[in-house]
Amino acid sequence: MDNFALLRESYTRGGLLEDAASSDPWVQFESWFQEAVSAGLREPNAMTLATATPNARIVLMKGYSPDGVVFYTNYESAKGREIEANPCVALLFFWRELERQVRIRGTAARISREETLAYFRSRPPGSQMGAAISPQSQVIPDRAWLESRLASMGEGEVALPENWGGFRVRVSEFEFWQGRPCRLHDRLRYRLAAGAWVRERLAP
Ligand SMILES: Cc1cc2nc3c(=O)[nH]c(=O)nc-3n(C[C@H](O)[C@H](O)[C@H](O)COP(=O)(O)O)c2cc1C
């Protein structure tokens, strides 16, 4: 397609005004995430994870609370190593159908092994096996190598791989973006200052 630069959407679905938005960004996040779920979006929990290398990829949010946002991965993957080197990360949700994005900044830290184990046990057996046999982000010879490793896995319970687990991103900043007509979008930023959330409106 030659003329994709001409593709242009007008955002008309809603607004985000101070009176209606919560003063607590976690309450606001809960409300928008639930709306994304109710709208039937596919994988509304898919988020871009940016590490400070810089590098970016999609991961799935598997939990959130005022303690942070949790995702699971291989600790020896590129992202795992990058977080060990510099725990500053950004998360990004894009809910296109709702004309919304949520930007999050914070620091990532490993969760406890107990919490990881509880989640690992809840995964389907195929996912447990995939996590166990894949040296994520390493160069491998070919697809057959991976499949033979899978085939060599025995029956029965899969042990939690040492190098696999969760990270929790402690959040220091949120930005909620709602598309509006004429590119005059609403942007509310919440940043932690001396332990309290400060809310500010940013120019679009
Ligand atoms: C929709 C979607 C969901 C994904 N979820 C995860 C996830 O939860 N954890 C994960 O490690 N990789 C997930 N991936 C794969 C990552 O995007 C990435 O390819 C992989 O983790 C290796 O990244 P790295 O080399 O930067 O560490 C997902 C990819 C997509 C497209």
Residue whose CA is at the smallest distance from ligand 1 atom 4: 59
- Residue 183 designated active-site: yes
The pair phi, psi for residue 109, each rounded to 5°, is -145, 150
pTM of the model: 0.96
The pLDDT of residue 46 is above 90: yes
Residue ranges per structural domain of the chain: 9-113+163-201
pLDDT digits (tens, 9 = 90+) for 83-104: 999 999 999 999 999 999 999 9
CATH 2.30.110.10 fits domain 9-113+163-201: yes
| Confidence class for position 19, pLDDT limits 50, 70, 90 | very high
| Helix (H), strand (E) at residue 109 | strand 100-110
Q: How far apart are CA 13 and CA 78, in angstroms?
A: 38
pLDDT digits (tens, 9 = 90+) for 167-197: 999 999 999 999 999 999 999 999 999 999 9
- 46 touches ligand 1 (CB under 6 Å): yes
Query: Tell me, what's the pLDDT at 112?
Result: 98
- 134 touches ligand 1 (CB under 6 Å): no
pLDDT digits (tens, 9 = 90+) for 54-78: 999 999 999 999 999 999 999 999 9
- For residues 161-169, give the mean pLDDT: 98
Which candidate in 183, 187, 189, 201 is catalytic? 183
Query: Tell me, what's the pLDDT at 129?
Result: 95
Side-chain-side CA neighbours of residue 203 (13 Å): 0
Residue whose CA is at the smallest distance from ligand 1 atom 22: 137
- 136 touches ligand 1 (CB under 6 Å): yes
Between the alpha carbon of residue 135 and those of residues 111, 129, 138, 140, the distances in Å are: 20, 12, 6, 9
Encode 131-196 in three state secondary structure.
HHHCCCCCCCCCHHHHHHHHHCCCCCCCCCCCCEEEEEEEEEEEEEEECCHHHCCEEEEEEEECCE
- Atom index in ligand 1 nearest the CA of residue 51 equals 26
